[in-house]
Amino acid sequence: MSKFFSNKYKALTPYTPGEQPTEMKYIKLNTNESPFPPSKKAIELGAKALESLELYPDPECGELTRALAEYYEVDPECVLVTNGSDEILNFAFMAFCDKEHPCAFADITYGFYKVFAELNGIPYREIPLKEDFTIDPADYMGTDETIFIANPNAPTGIALPRDTIEEIIKSNPNRIVVVDEAYVDFGGESCVPLTKKYDNLLVTQTFSKSRSMAGARLGYGIASKELICDMNTIKYSTNPYNINRATMYAGLGSLIEQEYTDKNCQTIIENREYTAKELKGLGFYMTDSKTNFLFAAHPTLEGGKLYRELKAKGILVRHFDKERISNYNRITIGTKEQMKALIDTVKVIMEEAK
């Protein structure tokens, strides 16, 4: 740390992204990317946009905003497109929380919530998940805090029904509820329709997972006009051109070719069920995942050891060195071939451990 670093940030612990190794080719099941390339239309429109890089992009990201609005059947003024959904989550912390208006989220959830709270000097409360890693909705009712819920949750993969989230929204009319739906396309129930009914709900989604576009950095939020307007104030005070030209057009291409995303999600769900069954056959236990990953542990094969041995054999998964979940690994669902390789390698590791 330099002597020039602002006192404001000295105590900040930044987010630790999953490994993105460049030194060798792993079977990469550690950061919940899609194993499939982006849609052809996304590649085509994104590449075409590179021909006009001398020009700033549209600060309103109008074409994509309108396309998303049409897809979700909401007003374009109720949509805000951002540089990954991480950006809109940060906007939400900045716009809707402060020292007097603290926030709350689960003790085991997306690690960035805590970082954004600390970055922005916002007091936060971590609400413990139940023993089985499910959320107790009662813990979130009427707390008068800004609530952040990943639904389905990460890294547990567990989803709450829309009705339950609606109860939480209703119980907290004076504070915002942010529902992070990064994984909703893999079997969850989206709360987007509720944004028309409640002025205190923000739903965020991303092109990073189901749409195979993690490298493009594209996310968005859907909420009432007023909430979107507040977050636009933050956007235009930090980075008005937050979406680059190629990303915007690639996003449009992805929406045009919606059936490609739907098919890929279906394949991931099938591969997830296959992998879950195989791992259970080997004695693993796991949560009921509605995402593109499994959260699994074994009674005799320690989580950290499994992570290290898989890595040594060329397969990367995500291990969190955190109390309560240190025996688990989060395994991204890839192609059928990748999942077969994972199962075979786990079998070898279990043989060797005998």
What is the binding site for ligand PLP (CB under 6 A)? 84-86, 110, 150, 154, 180, 182, 206, 208, 214, 219
Contacts of 270 by beta carbon, 8 Å cutoff, 6+ apart = none
Residue (of 204, 80, 93) closest to 145 by Cα position: 93
How many C-beta atoms surround the C-beta of residue 168 within 10 A? 22
**Strand 124-127, strand 315-316: pairing:** unpaired
Q: Which is nearer to ligand PLP, 206 or 247 (CB)?
A: 206
145 DSSP assignment: S
Angle at 331 between CA 329 and CA 333, to 5 degrees: 170
Q: Which residue has the tokens 């979406």?
A: 243
* Nearest distance from C-beta of residue 188 to ligand PLP, angstroms: 11
When the beta carbons of 33 and 309 are compared against ligand PLP, the nearer one is 33
Residue 101 DSSP class: B
Residue 212 or residue 224: which is nearer to ligand PLP going by CB?
A: 212
Q: What is the dihedral of CA 58, 60, 150, 253, to 10 degrees?
A: -50
- Please state the closest distance from residue 214 (CB atom) to ligand PLP, in A: 6
CB of 150 to ligand PLP, least distance (A): 4
> Please, which residue, 206 or 287, has the CB nearer to ligand PLP?
206
At its nearest, how many Å lie between ligand PLP and the CB of residue 179?
11
Tell how strand 79-82 and strand 219-223 pair up: antiparallel
CB of 31 to ligand PLP, least distance (A): 8
Q: Give the separation between CA 19 and CA 34, rounded to whole angstroms.
A: 15
The residue (of 118 and 302) whose beta carbon lies closer to ligand PLP is: 118
Q: How far is the CB of 55 from ligand PLP (least distance, A)?
A: 25
Question: Quick one: which of 208, 149, 136, 206 has its CA closest to 175?
Answer: 149
Task: Return the CA Rg of the chain.
Answer: 20
| Residue located via tokens 């059936």 | 259
With respect to ligand PLP, which residue has the nearer C-beta, 181 or 257?
Answer: 181
Which residue number is nearest to ligand PLP in terms of Cβ?
A: 84
- The distance of closest approach from Cβ of residue 13 to ligand PLP in the complex, given in angstroms and rounded to an integer, is 18
**Closer by beta carbon to ligand PLP, 150 or else 286:** 150
